[in-house]
Amino acid sequence: MRKKIKIINIVGARPNFMKIAPIVRAMEKHKDVLDFLLVHTGQHYDENMSNLFFNQLNIPRPDIDLGVGSGSHAWQTAEIMKKFEPVALDYKPDYVLVVGDVNSTIACGLVAKKLDVKVIHVEAGLRSFDMTMPEEINRILTDRISDLCFVTEKSGEDNLLHEGTPKNNIHFVGNVMIDTLLANKEKAAKINICDKLNISSPEYFVATLHRPSNVDDKANLNKIIKILLHASSLKKVVFPVHPRTRNKLKEYGLLEKLENNIILTEPLGYLEFLDLISNSSGVLTDSGGIQEETTILDIPCLTLRENTERPVTINIGTNTLTGLDEEKIKKALGKASKKEPKQGRIPPKWDGKAAQRIIQIIKKVNNL
C-alpha cells in the first residue's frame, strides 16, 4: 500500500479562515497520499466572525470544534492546549499545520511539538519587532518550533535565517490569503455592497480597527475617533466594527460620537468586505491581512500602527504607515481623495498558487 501522511489543519480566528481555504482545497486533490482533519478551536464563534466564512469560502465543516471561546490570553491559550491534546493523541498525525499568528496558532503548535509531532507554519517569518504585540510573540514562538516554515515575502526568509532557522526548513511559496482573494474576486464583484449601503464607488473610505493597542486604550481610541471624523469630512466612511472594538466603544461611552457621521456596520462577510474595499478610495486599518489585500487590489492603505510585519506592502505595495499621527493621515487621505495615491506593484509569487506550492513541498520532503 502507498504511504500516506496524516495532517491536522488548525483554524481558530477570522483571519485563519481565508488562509486555510486554499490549503484544504489543495489537500483534497492529493487524498491518495494525504489524510487530514480540520480542527476549529472556537477562538472566534460569532456567526459573522466564523460560520459565514466557512459558507462563503466553501470550507468543509470542521471535523472537530474545540469550542473554546473568549478569555484572557493565558486562559484562551491554555484551554486550546488542553482541548487539542487529546485530539492529537487520538489522531496521531505526522504534522500539525497552523496558519498566521493568533493564539490558536501557538497553542496547537506547542501541543504538537511536545508530542513529537512536526509543525508546519504557514505565513512564517513575519516580524514587526514589537514585542508588545501578542501576535509577534505568537509568531516568534511558533516559528521556533516549526519544522516547515512557509513564507509569504522575502523579509520572512531573512528574519528566519537571522534567527537561526535552518535554510532547508524555509520555503518562499507566496501568500495563501491572496490565493483566496484571487479565487473570489469575481464572486465578490457581484455582491453590490455599495447599493446595499447606499454609497457610490469610489466616494468613500473604509475603516477597520481592532488592535488592543488602538482600541483598548481610551486616549488612542479618542484619537482614532477624531481621525475618522476628519475622514468623514472628505468622503463617507464605512466602518465594520469588530466585537472587541464595539465593546470598548460602548464601555468608554464613545459609540454615539461616531453614529451620526460614520456608517457603522456589523463585521462583514468575506465577499461583502472584499467588494467594499475593492470599490473604495482607500482603507484605514490596523489589520495585518488588509495591508496585503489592498496591495493586490491597488487600493491605498493607511496603516494606523507604528510598525508592520509586512514590509513588502510598503516597499512594493500601496501601504503607508501613519501611526495615529493626524498630519500624516490627513496628507495620505488627501492624496487618496485626489486620486494621487501611491502606485503599487504585485509582490513576487502572490499569484494564486501558494497553496499548491505548499502541498508540493510537503509531498517532496516526504518522498511522496
Of the pair 134, 202, the CB lying nearest ligand UD1 is at 134
Tell me the window of 40-48, 51-59, 177-185, 321-329 that interacts with ligand UD1 (CB under 6 A): 40-48
The cell for 127 is 516580524
Contact 117, 93 (CB under 8 A): yes
As measured in angstroms, the least distance from the Cβ of 311 to ligand UD1 is 18
CB count, 10 Å around CB of 40?
27
Sites for ligand UD1 among residues 51-70 (CB under 6 A): 70
Spatial CA neighbour of 188 closest among 20, 18, 12: 18
CB count in 10 Å sphere of residue 230: 14
Query: What is the DSSP code string of 137-148?
Result: HHHHHHHHT-SE
Report the SS3 class of residue 50.
Answer: coil
Q: Within 13 A of 212's CA, how many CA atoms are on the CB side?
A: 6
Q: Nearest approach, Cβ of 98 to ligand UD1 (angstroms)? A: 12
Q: Where are the alpha helices (DSSP H) in 29-166?
A: 51-56, 73-91, 103-114, 134-144, 154-162
Site for ligand UD1 in 180-219 (CB under 6 A): 210
CB-nearer residue toward ligand UD1: 103 or 291: 103
Q: What is the smallest separation between the CB atom of 210 and ligand UD1, expressed in angstroms? A: 5
Size of the site for ligand UD1 (CB under 6 A): 19
Q: Which of 7, 13, 110, 117 binds ligand UD1 (CB under 6 A)?
A: 13
Q: Which residues pair with 121 in a beta bridge?
A: 98, 149
- Secondary structure (3-state) at 40: strand
Report the nearest approach of ligand UD1 to the CB of residue 62 (Å). 15
- Nearest distance from C-beta of residue 324 to ligand UD1, angstroms: 18
Q: Is 204 helix (H, G, I), strand (E, B) or coil?
A: strand
Q: Which residue among the candidates 121, 210, 230, 242 is catalytic per the annotation?
A: 210
Phi and psi at residue 11, in whole multiples of 5°?
-130, 155
| Catalytic site includes residue 210 | yes
- To the nearest whole angstrom, how small is the minimum distance from the Cβ of residue 301 to ligand UD1? 15
H-type alpha helices, the chain: 14-28, 51-56, 73-91, 103-114, 134-144, 154-162, 176-189, 193-197, 212-215, 218-234, 243-251, 255-259, 270-278, 289-297, 312-315, 326-337, 354-365
**Short-list 188, 187, 257, 197, CA closest to 222:** 257
Choice from 45, 202, 328, 360 touching ligand UD1 (CB under 6 A): 45
Segment interacting with ligand UD1 (CB under 6 A) among 37-45, 157-165, 197-205, 225-233: 37-45
243 binds ligand UD1 (CB under 6 A): yes
Strand-pair partners of 10? 39
- In the complex with ligand UD1, the residue whose CB is nearer, 103 or 320, is 103
Largest Cα–Cα distance of the chain, in whole Å? 67
Contact code string over 124-143 relative to ligand UD1, x by CB under 6 A:
----------xx--------
Toward ligand UD1, which CB reaches closer, 13 or 358? 13
Q: Which is nearer to ligand UD1, 123 or 153 (CB)?
A: 123
At closest approach, how far in Å is the CB of 129 from ligand UD1? Answer: 17
Beta bridge partners of 96: 8, 119
User: Which CB, 13 or 258, lies closer to ligand UD1?
Assistant: 13
| Closest CB to ligand UD1 among residues 37, 102 | 102
Q: Which residues pair with 95 in a beta bridge?
A: 7, 118
Q: Are 50 and 14 in contact (CB under 8 A)?
A: yes
> Which of 98-106, 145-153, 166-174, 308-316 is the region at the interface with ligand UD1 (rule: CB under 6 A)?
98-106
Which residues of this protein are in contact with ligand UD1, per CB under 6 A?
13-15, 43-46, 49, 70, 101-103, 134-135, 210, 242-244, 247
| Residues tagged active-site | 210
